[in-house]
Amino acid sequence: MTTTIGIAGNQIIQSVDVFNGNHVTYTPQGFVTAVQKAGGLPMVLPIGNEEVAASYISKIDKLLLAGGQDISPDFFGEEPHPKLEETNRNRDLFELALIKEAIKQNKPIFAVCRGMQLINVALGGTLYQDLSLYSEWSVKHGQQPTQPQFATHGIKIEKDSALYQVFGAEYRVNSYHHQAINDLASSLKITARSSDGIAEAIESIDANQRLLGVQWHPELRFDTAAKEFKLFEYFVNQL
């Protein structure tokens, strides 16, 4: 039986030039293609009211949270820092509800970049609203203008982790974030870090809670880096 993967969708609201003024629901094509290639059936979940999250989760086997906007800081008890970038509160509320329901219904979650950060917030953790607030910051985590298929910095992976089975002890990743995990939620563990100490992957302390988050973007490299595709295979077929 094919595994149905619900991919939480994003929105393009300011789309006058590209979509003739229409608002657009979307997800990056890399997620769709990687899930399909791994044998899964991708289904984009458009942003909606929190009340519909339970119905969406009941119709899928696993949940995928993509990257995108910053997370509204009031969800972790802070006012917006001057370096906070675009947020979408409707998306935050909907995806927080999806996370809650996926955990309640025991559905596995794979989260990328913003998605990993949002899981931490959903479970009681906090974020650095900008890496300039992190005193040990010494690695470039936003790799522009380098193209996404090229890995730019290293990570070290904990041996006692699902991620270790895919990548081994060390790996190099692409990087597109200016926010990062600050206080870690008590139910999570960090399973990979960059050399300056930033959390690059998280998993649940409870082995029965099937949850994996990565800070980089495997959907932008899976077709050129075999281990990145193995990560999607692991998510679709094992997590």
Q: What is the set of active-site residues?
A: 113, 217, 219
Phi and psi at residue 100, to the nearest 5°: -60, -45
Specify the amino acid at residue 104: K
CB-CB contact of 177 with 222 (8 Å)? no
- The Cα–Cα gap between 15 and 22 comes to 6
- The Cα–Cα gap between 120 and 115 comes to 9
Specify the amino acid at residue 200: E
- The Cα–Cα gap between 91 and 50 comes to 10
CB-CB contact of 94 with 49 (8 Å)? yes
Q: Six-digit token pair at 111?
A: 């989260």
First to last CA, the chain: 16
Tokens 């329901």, residue located: 101
